[in-house]
Protein backbone atom coordinates (compact mmCIF):
# COMPACT_ATOMS: atom_id res chain seq x y z
CA UNK A 1 0.00 0.00 0.00
CA UNK A 2 2.90 2.36 0.79
CA UNK A 3 4.28 2.05 -2.73
CA UNK A 4 0.86 2.97 -4.16
CA UNK A 5 0.67 6.10 -2.03
CA UNK A 6 4.19 7.06 -3.09
CA UNK A 7 3.33 6.55 -6.74
CA UNK A 8 0.20 8.70 -6.48
CA UNK A 9 2.24 11.41 -4.74
CA UNK A 10 4.80 11.39 -7.57
CA UNK A 11 2.09 11.77 -10.20
CA UNK A 12 0.52 14.56 -8.17
CA UNK A 13 3.81 16.42 -8.00
CA UNK A 14 4.43 15.94 -11.73
CA UNK A 15 1.02 17.30 -12.70
CA UNK A 16 1.49 20.28 -10.38
CA UNK A 17 4.78 21.14 -12.08
CA UNK A 18 3.37 21.08 -15.61
CA UNK A 19 2.65 24.46 -17.16
CA UNK A 20 -0.35 25.01 -19.44
CA UNK A 21 1.25 26.90 -22.30
CA UNK A 22 -2.07 28.52 -23.20
CA UNK A 23 -2.98 29.93 -19.79
CA UNK A 24 0.29 30.43 -17.92
CA UNK A 25 1.38 33.98 -17.19
CA UNK A 26 4.88 35.33 -17.75
CA UNK A 27 5.99 34.45 -14.20
CA UNK A 28 5.06 30.79 -14.63
CA UNK A 29 6.61 30.65 -18.10
CA UNK A 30 9.92 31.96 -16.77
CA UNK A 31 10.24 28.84 -14.61
CA UNK A 32 10.71 26.77 -17.77
CA UNK A 33 14.29 25.92 -18.80
CA UNK A 34 15.59 28.35 -21.40
CA UNK A 35 12.60 30.70 -21.12
CA UNK A 36 13.65 34.05 -19.74
CA UNK A 37 11.66 37.29 -19.46
CA UNK A 38 11.95 38.12 -23.18
CA UNK A 39 10.72 34.74 -24.43
CA UNK A 40 8.01 34.56 -21.78
CA UNK A 41 6.70 37.95 -22.88
CA UNK A 42 6.87 36.86 -26.53
CA UNK A 43 4.79 33.73 -25.80
CA UNK A 44 2.08 35.73 -24.07
CA UNK A 45 2.02 38.41 -26.81
CA UNK A 46 1.78 35.75 -29.53
CA UNK A 47 -1.08 34.03 -27.68
CA UNK A 48 -3.00 37.26 -27.21
CA UNK A 49 -2.61 38.27 -30.86
CA UNK A 50 -3.05 34.95 -32.65
CA UNK A 51 -4.93 32.72 -30.23
CA UNK A 52 -4.00 29.51 -28.39
CA UNK A 53 -1.35 26.99 -29.33
CA UNK A 54 -2.97 23.84 -30.68
CA UNK A 55 0.22 21.79 -30.66
CA UNK A 56 3.70 22.23 -29.24
CA UNK A 57 5.28 22.77 -32.65
CA UNK A 58 3.28 26.02 -32.92
CA UNK A 59 5.77 27.49 -30.45
CA UNK A 60 8.32 27.62 -33.28
CA UNK A 61 6.40 30.60 -34.69
CA UNK A 62 7.16 32.62 -31.52
CA UNK A 63 10.14 34.93 -31.92
CA UNK A 64 13.27 33.47 -30.33
CA UNK A 65 11.92 29.94 -29.89
CA UNK A 66 13.11 27.07 -32.04
CA UNK A 67 13.05 23.27 -31.98
CA UNK A 68 15.91 23.17 -29.45
CA UNK A 69 13.99 25.27 -26.92
CA UNK A 70 10.84 23.21 -27.43
CA UNK A 71 12.73 19.96 -26.82
CA UNK A 72 14.03 21.35 -23.50
CA UNK A 73 10.63 22.43 -22.21
CA UNK A 74 8.24 19.86 -23.70
CA UNK A 75 8.32 17.60 -20.64
CA UNK A 76 7.32 20.55 -18.43
CA UNK A 77 4.41 21.92 -20.46
CA UNK A 78 1.07 20.72 -21.76
CA UNK A 79 -1.86 21.86 -23.87
CA UNK A 80 -5.32 21.51 -22.36
CA UNK A 81 -7.09 20.22 -25.45
CA UNK A 82 -10.45 20.18 -23.67
CA UNK A 83 -10.51 23.98 -23.46
CA UNK A 84 -9.53 24.55 -27.11
CA UNK A 85 -12.08 25.71 -29.66
CA UNK A 86 -12.78 23.19 -32.38
CA UNK A 87 -12.34 24.16 -36.02
CA UNK A 88 -14.97 26.64 -37.18
CA UNK A 89 -17.05 24.94 -39.85
CA UNK A 90 -20.29 26.91 -39.55
CA UNK A 91 -19.52 28.66 -42.84
CA UNK A 92 -19.09 25.40 -44.76
CA UNK A 93 -21.73 24.87 -47.44
CA UNK A 94 -23.69 21.83 -48.52
CA UNK A 95 -21.89 20.11 -51.38
CA UNK A 96 -24.10 18.87 -54.23
CA UNK A 97 -23.56 17.27 -57.62
CA UNK A 98 -25.31 19.99 -59.61
CA UNK A 99 -27.05 23.33 -59.17
CA UNK A 100 -28.09 26.46 -61.05
CA UNK A 101 -24.98 28.59 -60.47
CA UNK A 102 -24.69 32.31 -59.94
CA UNK A 103 -20.89 32.04 -59.95
CA UNK A 104 -18.37 29.74 -61.62
CA UNK A 105 -14.73 29.77 -60.52
CA UNK A 106 -12.13 27.87 -62.57
CA UNK A 107 -8.77 27.18 -60.93
CA UNK A 108 -7.02 26.56 -64.23
CA UNK A 109 -4.57 23.75 -64.87
CA UNK A 110 -1.75 25.79 -66.40
CA UNK A 111 1.28 24.01 -64.96
CA UNK A 112 3.50 25.51 -62.26
CA UNK A 113 1.72 28.77 -61.57
CA UNK A 114 -1.65 30.37 -60.88
CA UNK A 115 -4.53 31.36 -63.14
CA UNK A 116 -8.10 31.67 -61.89
CA UNK A 117 -11.11 32.48 -64.06
CA UNK A 118 -14.05 34.12 -62.27
CA UNK A 119 -17.33 34.00 -64.16
CA UNK A 120 -20.36 35.76 -62.69
CA UNK A 121 -23.45 34.39 -64.40
CA UNK A 122 -25.19 37.25 -66.27
CA UNK A 123 -22.29 39.48 -65.20
CA UNK A 124 -18.59 40.09 -65.65
CA UNK A 125 -15.79 37.61 -66.29
CA UNK A 126 -12.38 38.15 -64.66
CA UNK A 127 -9.01 36.47 -64.95
CA UNK A 128 -6.75 36.67 -61.91
CA UNK A 129 -3.15 35.70 -62.74
CA UNK A 130 -2.14 34.09 -66.02
CA UNK A 131 0.33 31.33 -65.24
CA UNK A 132 3.70 30.93 -67.01
CA UNK A 133 4.52 31.58 -70.64
CA UNK A 134 5.29 28.67 -72.97
CA UNK A 135 8.98 29.49 -73.15
CA UNK A 136 8.97 29.73 -76.94
CA UNK A 137 6.71 30.38 -79.94
CA UNK A 138 3.82 28.32 -78.56
CA UNK A 139 0.91 29.99 -76.80
CA UNK A 140 0.87 29.56 -73.01
CA UNK A 141 -1.42 27.05 -71.32
CA UNK A 142 -3.80 29.75 -70.04
CA UNK A 143 -4.79 30.64 -73.62
CA UNK A 144 -5.73 27.04 -74.38
CA UNK A 145 -7.66 26.68 -71.13
CA UNK A 146 -9.68 29.83 -71.78
CA UNK A 147 -10.52 28.65 -75.29
CA UNK A 148 -11.61 25.25 -73.89
CA UNK A 149 -14.04 26.98 -71.53
CA UNK A 150 -15.38 29.16 -74.34
CA UNK A 151 -14.10 32.55 -73.21
CA UNK A 152 -13.86 35.30 -75.81
CA UNK A 153 -14.07 38.46 -73.69
CA UNK A 154 -12.58 39.27 -70.30
CA UNK A 155 -14.00 42.28 -68.51
CA UNK A 156 -10.98 42.45 -66.22
CA UNK A 157 -7.50 40.93 -66.11
CA UNK A 158 -5.75 41.36 -62.78
CA UNK A 159 -2.79 39.68 -61.11
CA UNK A 160 -1.30 39.15 -57.68
CA UNK A 161 2.36 40.00 -58.40
CA UNK A 162 4.64 40.21 -61.44
CA UNK A 163 6.55 36.93 -61.14
CA UNK A 164 6.64 34.95 -64.37
CA UNK A 165 4.49 32.05 -63.12
CA UNK A 166 1.67 34.54 -62.50
CA UNK A 167 2.01 37.04 -65.38
CA UNK A 168 3.89 34.98 -67.96
CA UNK A 169 0.76 34.11 -69.92
CA UNK A 170 -0.98 37.47 -69.66
CA UNK A 171 0.60 39.18 -72.67
CA UNK A 172 -0.78 36.37 -74.86
CA UNK A 173 -4.17 36.66 -73.14
CA UNK A 174 -4.25 40.38 -73.96
CA UNK A 175 -3.41 39.66 -77.61
CA UNK A 176 -5.76 36.67 -78.05
CA UNK A 177 -8.90 37.86 -76.27
CA UNK A 178 -10.89 41.04 -75.92
CA UNK A 179 -9.75 42.49 -72.58
CA UNK A 180 -11.59 45.59 -71.43
CA UNK A 181 -9.61 46.52 -68.32
CA UNK A 182 -6.35 45.64 -66.57
CA UNK A 183 -5.80 46.01 -62.83
CA UNK A 184 -2.14 46.13 -61.78
CA UNK A 185 -1.00 45.96 -58.11
CA UNK A 186 1.97 48.05 -59.28
CA UNK A 187 4.69 46.18 -57.39
CA UNK A 188 8.13 47.45 -58.54
CA UNK A 189 9.77 44.63 -60.49
CA UNK A 190 11.94 44.55 -63.57
CA UNK A 191 11.62 41.66 -66.02
CA UNK A 192 11.21 41.13 -69.74
CA UNK A 193 7.99 39.15 -69.18
CA UNK A 194 6.37 41.90 -67.11
CA UNK A 195 7.51 44.51 -69.65
CA UNK A 196 6.03 42.44 -72.49
CA UNK A 197 2.73 42.32 -70.64
CA UNK A 198 2.66 46.10 -70.17
CA UNK A 199 3.50 46.61 -73.84
CA UNK A 200 0.60 44.32 -74.81
CA UNK A 201 -1.74 46.39 -72.64
CA UNK A 202 -0.67 49.59 -74.42
CA UNK A 203 -0.72 48.01 -77.88
CA UNK A 204 -4.25 46.68 -77.46
CA UNK A 205 -5.56 49.86 -75.82
CA UNK A 206 -6.91 48.24 -72.63
CA UNK A 207 -8.05 50.48 -69.82
CA UNK A 208 -5.33 50.39 -67.18
CA UNK A 209 -5.87 51.01 -63.46
CA UNK A 210 -4.11 50.31 -60.19
CA UNK A 211 -5.39 47.52 -57.97
CA UNK A 212 -6.13 49.37 -54.74
CA UNK A 213 -6.66 47.83 -51.33
CA UNK A 214 -10.25 48.00 -50.08
CA UNK A 215 -11.72 48.45 -53.56
CA UNK A 216 -14.94 46.57 -54.34
CA UNK A 217 -16.24 45.54 -57.72
CA UNK A 218 -19.75 44.31 -58.44
CA UNK A 219 -19.50 41.60 -61.10
CA UNK A 220 -23.25 40.94 -60.98
CA UNK A 221 -26.08 41.61 -58.52
CA UNK A 222 -24.91 38.48 -56.67
CA UNK A 223 -21.11 38.49 -57.01
CA UNK A 224 -18.62 40.90 -55.43
CA UNK A 225 -14.83 41.10 -55.65
CA UNK A 226 -13.01 42.78 -52.77
CA UNK A 227 -9.32 43.66 -52.80
CA UNK A 228 -8.25 42.36 -49.38
CA UNK A 229 -4.67 43.47 -49.80
CA UNK A 230 -2.76 45.24 -52.55
CA UNK A 231 0.64 44.46 -51.08
CA UNK A 232 1.99 44.74 -47.54
CA UNK A 233 3.47 48.08 -46.52
CA UNK A 234 5.76 49.15 -43.72
CA UNK A 235 7.95 46.04 -43.72
CA UNK A 236 10.69 44.69 -45.93
CA UNK A 237 8.81 41.92 -47.75
CA UNK A 238 9.88 40.11 -50.88
CA UNK A 239 7.82 40.13 -54.07
CA UNK A 240 5.94 36.95 -53.10
CA UNK A 241 4.84 38.40 -49.79
CA UNK A 242 3.73 41.60 -51.47
CA UNK A 243 1.15 39.64 -53.47
CA UNK A 244 -2.27 41.24 -53.83
CA UNK A 245 -5.19 39.22 -52.45
CA UNK A 246 -8.76 39.30 -53.71
CA UNK A 247 -11.88 37.74 -52.21
CA UNK A 248 -14.89 36.74 -54.28
CA UNK A 249 -18.23 36.42 -52.50
CA UNK A 250 -21.63 35.17 -53.62
CA UNK A 251 -24.20 34.84 -50.88
CA UNK A 252 -22.71 32.59 -48.18
CA UNK A 253 -19.90 31.47 -50.51
CA UNK A 254 -16.43 33.00 -50.60
CA UNK A 255 -13.08 32.19 -52.15
CA UNK A 256 -9.79 33.87 -51.34
CA UNK A 257 -7.04 34.13 -53.95
CA UNK A 258 -3.71 34.58 -52.20
CA UNK A 259 -0.95 34.72 -54.81
CA UNK A 260 2.38 33.67 -53.28
CA UNK A 261 2.18 35.21 -49.81
CA UNK A 262 4.43 33.66 -47.19
CA UNK A 263 4.60 33.58 -43.41
CA UNK A 264 5.41 37.26 -42.76
CA UNK A 265 2.47 38.45 -44.83
CA UNK A 266 0.20 35.82 -43.28
CA UNK A 267 1.11 37.09 -39.81
CA UNK A 268 0.09 40.61 -40.81
CA UNK A 269 -3.16 39.41 -42.35
CA UNK A 270 -4.19 37.13 -39.45
CA UNK A 271 -5.92 39.68 -37.17
CA UNK A 272 -8.44 40.57 -39.90
CA UNK A 273 -8.72 37.12 -41.51
CA UNK A 274 -12.25 35.75 -41.93
CA UNK A 275 -13.49 32.24 -42.77
CA UNK A 276 -13.72 31.27 -46.45
CA UNK A 277 -15.36 28.44 -48.32
CA UNK A 278 -12.52 27.87 -50.81
CA UNK A 279 -8.91 28.93 -50.36
CA UNK A 280 -6.47 29.12 -53.23
CA UNK A 281 -3.56 27.88 -51.10
CA UNK A 282 -0.72 30.42 -50.92
CA UNK A 283 2.43 29.87 -52.98
CA UNK A 284 1.39 26.53 -54.51
CA UNK A 285 1.63 24.78 -51.13
CA UNK A 286 5.16 25.92 -50.26
CA UNK A 287 6.50 25.07 -46.80
CA UNK A 288 7.22 28.81 -46.40
CA UNK A 289 3.51 29.64 -46.49
CA UNK A 290 1.95 27.97 -43.47
CA UNK A 291 1.29 30.24 -40.50
CA UNK A 292 -1.14 28.08 -38.46
CA UNK A 293 -3.22 30.86 -36.85
CA UNK A 294 -3.91 32.38 -40.28
CA UNK A 295 -5.01 29.10 -41.80
CA UNK A 296 -7.18 28.29 -38.79
CA UNK A 297 -8.99 31.61 -39.02
CA UNK A 298 -9.62 31.05 -42.72
CA UNK A 299 -10.78 27.48 -41.98
CA UNK A 300 -11.39 26.63 -45.65
CA UNK A 301 -13.85 23.90 -46.57
CA UNK A 302 -11.82 23.30 -49.74
CA UNK A 303 -8.09 23.95 -50.21
CA UNK A 304 -7.03 24.33 -53.86
CA UNK A 305 -3.37 23.69 -54.66
CA UNK A 306 -2.29 25.09 -58.02
CA UNK A 307 0.94 23.39 -59.04
CA UNK A 308 2.59 21.74 -62.02
CA UNK A 309 2.88 17.98 -62.36
CA UNK A 310 6.20 16.70 -60.97
CA UNK A 311 7.44 20.27 -60.53
CA UNK A 312 11.03 20.80 -59.42
CA UNK A 313 10.00 22.76 -56.31
CA UNK A 314 8.25 19.81 -54.65
CA UNK A 315 4.97 21.74 -54.45
CA UNK A 316 2.77 21.08 -52.63
CA UNK A 317 4.89 20.13 -49.63
CA UNK A 318 3.57 17.04 -47.78
CA UNK A 319 3.58 18.86 -44.42
CA UNK A 320 1.45 21.64 -45.88
CA UNK A 321 -1.11 19.11 -47.10
CA UNK A 322 -1.07 17.57 -43.62
CA UNK A 323 -1.86 20.96 -42.04
CA UNK A 324 -4.92 21.46 -44.26
CA UNK A 325 -6.10 17.91 -43.65
CA UNK A 326 -5.93 18.57 -39.90
CA UNK A 327 -8.23 21.55 -40.50
CA UNK A 328 -10.67 19.17 -42.17
CA UNK A 329 -10.29 20.86 -45.56
CA UNK A 330 -10.91 18.82 -48.69
CA UNK A 331 -7.71 18.82 -50.77
CA UNK A 332 -8.01 19.73 -54.48
CA UNK A 333 -4.88 19.71 -56.66
CA UNK A 334 -4.56 20.90 -60.25
CA UNK A 335 -1.52 18.65 -60.77
CA UNK A 336 -3.77 15.62 -60.16
CA UNK A 337 -7.27 16.74 -61.09
CA UNK A 338 -6.62 19.23 -63.88
CA UNK A 339 -8.75 22.38 -63.93
CA UNK A 340 -10.90 22.53 -60.81
CA UNK A 341 -14.37 24.01 -61.25
CA UNK A 342 -16.35 25.41 -58.32
CA UNK A 343 -19.94 26.45 -58.92
CA UNK A 344 -22.25 28.03 -56.37
CA UNK A 345 -25.73 29.52 -56.06
CA UNK A 346 -24.63 31.31 -52.91
CA UNK A 347 -25.93 28.66 -50.54
CA UNK A 348 -24.65 25.38 -51.97
CA UNK A 349 -21.50 24.37 -53.78
CA UNK A 350 -20.64 21.96 -56.58
CA UNK A 351 -17.04 20.88 -57.26
CA UNK A 352 -15.81 19.11 -60.38
CA UNK A 353 -12.80 19.02 -62.69
CA UNK A 354 -12.07 19.37 -66.39
Task: Evaluate if residue 76 carries a pLDDT over 50.
Answer: yes
> Structure pTM?
0.90
* Residue 137: pLDDT band with limits 50, 70, 90: confident
Domains annotated for the chain, with CATH where assigned, are: 2-83 (1.10.150.320), 94-353 (3.60.15.10)
Question: Which stretch of DSSP H or E encloses residue 348?
Answer: strand 348-353
**Distance between CA atoms of residues 168 and 194, nearest Å:** 7
Task: Evaluate if residue 148 carries a pLDDT over 90.
Answer: yes
pLDDT for 79: 87
* Residue 188: pLDDT band with limits 50, 70, 90: confident
Distances (CA, A) of 295 to 116, 241, 274, 279, 303: 20, 16, 10, 9, 10
Partners of 351 in beta bridges? 342
Question: What is the pLDDT averaged over residues 323-350?
Answer: 97
Angle at 198 between CA 126 and CA 210, to 5 degrees: 55
Task: Evaluate if residue 37 carries a pLDDT over 80.
Answer: yes
62 closest CA partner among 292, 233, 241, 281: 292
Distances (CA, A) of 86 to 44, 48, 65, 273, 319: 21, 18, 26, 17, 21
pLDDT for 228: 96
Question: What is the pLDDT averaged over residues 257-281?
Answer: 95
Cβ within 8 Å of residue 55, ≥6 positions away: 79
Residue-averaged pLDDT of the chain: 91
Question: Which stretch of DSSP H or E encloses residue 50?
Answer: helix 37-50
Question: What is the pLDDT averaged over residues 279-288?
Answer: 97
Please state whether beta strands 207-210 and 19-20 pair in parallel, antiparallel, or not at all (unpaired): unpaired
Amino acid sequence: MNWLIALLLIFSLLSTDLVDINSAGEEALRTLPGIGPVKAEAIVEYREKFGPFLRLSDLEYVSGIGPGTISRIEEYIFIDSVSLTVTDTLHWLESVDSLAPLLNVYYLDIGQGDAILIEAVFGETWLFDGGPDAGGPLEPAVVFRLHEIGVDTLDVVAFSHPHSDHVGGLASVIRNFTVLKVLDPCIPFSSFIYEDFLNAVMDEGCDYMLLEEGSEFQLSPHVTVTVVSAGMEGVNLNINESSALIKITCGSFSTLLTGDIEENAERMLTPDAEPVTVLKVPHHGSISSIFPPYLRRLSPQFAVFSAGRNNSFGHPHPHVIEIYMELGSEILRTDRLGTIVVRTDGEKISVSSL
